[in-house]
Structure 1
């Protein structure tokens, strides 16, 4: 399907994000990077421009778009400059949050997102087009 989208992150970016979050974490939260989306058809064209592309549709079990934060998690989600944090919902014995996750262990401050917020590859504000995908591929270190 030509509408199919996914998020894009390089291995190096992913590793750096994980290592940075060791400094940021208080414990129990989930970190989600702010990364660009792309259309799968643009990825195919960027990687193999000389080949023809046949649209076969969505296969069983496949999703049209990727979701990293569902709207059900909005009440626990904080937006920071380059990432989101889903705070643990409650402390089991007290039914209250253990920590205030609007500020992380590194001192960065975030804001609680709106109640209807969701983070999915089709609704993202950051996008890679075919040229942007080619540039990221070109800049990715070879293993």
Structure 2
């Protein structure tokens, strides 16, 4: 029904990824290039009024109405979602879960 699912996943630093892939190669910090971002925002503050939090993910409810309304606060597994605060933002730099270089290597 056009809702957006946003998984709760750990953030990582690009420098940690470089250390995990090539621990013995020196790195050179060159700064941000045009168009690059330091952080990714998955749920911006201006969409927080549409966001619901579940144990392992968020749902951003659609902004359009359907003839048959759907209750997005309840999953098929009967997990109940909660509305987030109106100033809520889910972003890589405010995430409380971070991948360390050793854990990154296990994922690669």
Same-fold call, TM cutoff 0.5: yes
Return 5+ residue gaps in structure 2 as ranges.
none
Cα distance in 2 for residues equivalent to 1:127 and 1:99: 34
* 2:41 aligned residue (55, 67, 85): 67
SS of match in other structure, 1:38: coil
Higher normalized contact order (CA 8 Å, seq sep 6+, divided by chain length): 2
Which residue does the alignment assign to 1:21? none
Cα distance in 2 for residues equivalent to 1:80 and 1:125: 16
Which residue does the alignment assign to 2:25? 51
Please report how far the alpha carbon of residue 92 of structure 1 lies from its aligned counterpart in structure 2 after TM superposition.
7.3
Return 5+ residue gaps in structure 1 as ranges.
1-26, 138-143
Please identify which structure carries the higher helix content. 1
Which residue does the alignment assign to 1:85? 59
- The TM-score, its normalising length taken from structure 1, stands at 0.70
Cα distance in 2 for residues equivalent to 1:92 and 1:84: 21
Which residue does the alignment assign to 1:33? 7
Which residue does the alignment assign to 1:121? 92
